[in-house]
Amino acid sequence: MTRMADGPEFDRIRGIVDALGDAAGSLGDDAGEIPPGEGTLVASTDASVEHVHFQRDWLSAEEIGWRSAAAALSDISAQGAEPVALLTALALPAATPESEISGVMRGVGAVARAAGAKVVGGDLVRARDWTVTVTVMGRAMRPVLRSGASPGDGLWVTGTLGGARAALEAWLDGRVPPAGARQVFAHPPLRVAAGRWLSAHGATAMLDLSDGLAADVQHLAAASGVLATLTLERVPVQPDAAVAAVEAGIDATIYAAQGGEDYELLAAMPPEFGDSGVRAFEKATGHGIIQVGTVERGSGVRLLLRGERIRATGFDHFR
């Protein structure tokens, strides 16, 4: 760490460095260094805003840090990148206790450590409400975009969907979320290894599921200039989401497809990716993957539930 002058701001930065531990890069200068390496440098920024993405009475400071960093990391994971560096900008009320600042950064540091990256810089400013903005950088030998899907490809989803929605709706209804759903919301999964594996094994297009499968598949279809057909009864539903769907009187697969902030991956894979590919993926990553649709000639998205075409939407920040 670069030596720093005395004063409240630098005292807080020193506290941040302590909270990060071995996840801290060379901090203290106005800019961080990105280590040299092979591949294309990819980067993404994600802002987590109080009263929009979280409430502080729902999550601990450390969970807010993890969630913010994991959301940002998810974008480059979907390009098959190996994370290298994170930068974190904290906008917080002036009276925020040092313990909460350290807590946020412990969460960010835990994500960096799990991903094999370092926190190399950021910013600390005063604001009325909390905003945690994380920039992530990584390198990809073959960056996977949204725009490469071709007719004949299958559409595959990792993990399970709908848990974050179940947690959010419980909180908004004044209830305590089920433990599994809360865990998905507070501690989104990291899919770095999954993204890299899928990229290395022929993924033609990929993106993370932040706005919900029903919305995000539209981005893939539009960017690739294809028709994406989803068979909704194949959507993998998180167990607590299945219960929440029954209580809400909604088909569980529709409930899961419309939920946002799952941070799983949607990948278009070549036709030859089948059962053997699933077994190899699960062995290599420890995660599940299931085919939920196909890519065809045409444009747009077709959602089928037991053979019937339906309408479903995901999350839109500006709706």
pLDDT digits (tens, 9 = 90+) for 194-253: 999 999 999 999 999 999 999 999 999 999 999 999 999 999 999 999 999 999 999 999
Query: Which tokens hold the place of 258?
Result: 């419309």
Label residue 136 exposed, middle or buried (CB < 10 Å: 0-12, 13-18, 19+).
Answer: buried
CB 78 within 8 A of CB 195: yes
Contact residues for 314 (Cβ-Cβ < 8 A; gap 6+): 211, 212, 213, 214, 215, 216, 257, 258, 259, 260
- Residue limits of CATH 3.30.1330.10 in the chain: 8-140
DSSP characters over 13-41:
HHHHHHHHGGGB-S-SSSSPPPPP-SSEE
CB 89 within 8 A of CB 123: yes
Query: Which tokens hold the place of 181?
Result: 């759903």
| Amino acid 31: pLDDT | 73
Could you give the 3-state DSSP secondary structure of residue 304?
strand
| Amino acid 17: pLDDT | 60
Report, in angstroms and rounded to the nearest whole number, the Rg of the chain calculated over CA atoms.
Answer: 20
Please choose, from the candidates 164, 103, 168, 169, the residue with its C-alpha nearest in 3D space to the C-alpha of residue 130. Answer: 103
Lowest mean pLDDT segment, chosen from 47-61, 138-152, 178-192, 299-313:
299-313
Query: Has domain 8-140 been given CATH number 3.30.429.10?
Result: no
DSSP tag of 235: S
Please choose, from the candidates 80, 43, 85, the residue with its C-alpha nearest in 3D space to the C-alpha of residue 265. Answer: 80
11 pLDDT band (50/70/90 cuts)? low
pLDDT digits (tens, 9 = 90+) for 290-310: 999 999 999 999 999 999 998
pLDDT above 90 coverage of the chain, percent: 83
Q: At 103, phi and psi to the nearest 5?
A: -60, -45
Arithmetic mean of pLDDT, 35-48 = 92
For 154-310, give the CATH class: alpha beta
Q: Is the pLDDT of residue 7 over 50?
A: no
Give pTM, 2 decimals: 0.90
pLDDT digits (tens, 9 = 90+) for 152-174: 999 999 999 999 999 999 999 99
- Residue limits of CATH 3.90.650.10 in the chain: 154-310
25 pLDDT band (50/70/90 cuts)? low
Could you give the 3-state DSSP secondary structure of residue 136?
strand
15 pLDDT band (50/70/90 cuts)? low
Residue with tokens 């994406």: 228
